[in-house]
Amino acid sequence: MLEILSLVFVISLLINSSVVSELCIDPLGIEDGTIPTEQLSASSEFDLAYGAHRGRLNTATDSGGKGAWSSKTNDQYQWIQVDLGKLHKVRGVITQGRNSYDQWVTFYEILYSVDGDIFQPIRNSDCQVSKFVGNSDEDTTVTNMFSEPIYANFVRIHPTDWYRHISLRFEILGCPRGSQLVGHSTYYKSFRQNSQRSIMTRKSSGSCIRCAVECMRTPEFKYFKCDGGCRLYTCSNDDNFVGFQIG
């Protein structure tokens, strides 16, 4: 009886929108159009009726186009991504297949980026690229929450397996727009030239993105670079050395 009451209490908390916001699982604006069309892009599209803008969650087939983004070809090089406009704390993804047609993505990977140039995949505790279970029909939504949040401006879905054709609709879950996640609006600046000032190092753990978050929370640190064991595309459970350039 106590377990049932506890479950009811948890559900009632989740229904409360303020609690949902605190949990950082709000839709970030793909479905409702808050994110404009120009911030949705894809590796390819079958034709204009299947463009990335048709990849918004719950898009239905209508006079404007088809009920999903569909790639030009079926291979391992296809993706659809969103530019969130600024740094967000991202917690999960919701996906659907193609409305009114038997096409959907059954498994996919998630890649993310701060600058839109360098992407890294979400990895599991064994440092292997995580593969997320996708859809098994046209319209049922499937939600995958990440074991740990990521910090990103860009989130990319990379289908690895599909039924009939790569077709997808999606939404990203995280903290709402306007949240003050870090101390600087310019959270990350890539380090592309030799420093004219000193470098200090300290031990940290986690991915380079997390290292960068720690760096940019500190007012006197202006730039971030990967150093030692903390490199992009490297996953390590050991302590990592992070290079901070003092501005």
**Could you write out the three-class secondary structure of 28-52?**
CCCCCCCCCHHHEEECCCCCHHHCH
Average of per-residue pLDDT across 192-220: 43
Give the pLDDT confidence of 79-109 residue by residue, as tens digits.
999 999 999 999 999 999 999 999 999 999 9
What pTM did the predictor assign?
A: 0.68
Rounded to whole angstroms, how far apart are CA atoms 237 and 204?
Answer: 11
Tell me what the pLDDT averaged over the chain comes to: 74
Q: Where are the domains of the chain?
A: 25-174, 199-246
Fold of 25-174: Jelly Rolls (2.60.120)
The beta strands (E) that lie in the chain are given as 26-27, 40-42, 69-70, 80-96, 104-113, 120-121, 132-133, 142-163, 167-174, 199-204, 221-226, 240-246
Structure token pair of residue 69: 């983004």
What are 2-57's pLDDT values in tens digits? 333 333 333 343 434 444 446 789 999 999 999 999 999 999 999 999 999 999 99
pLDDT at residue 217, rounded to an integer: 53
124 pLDDT higher than 90? no
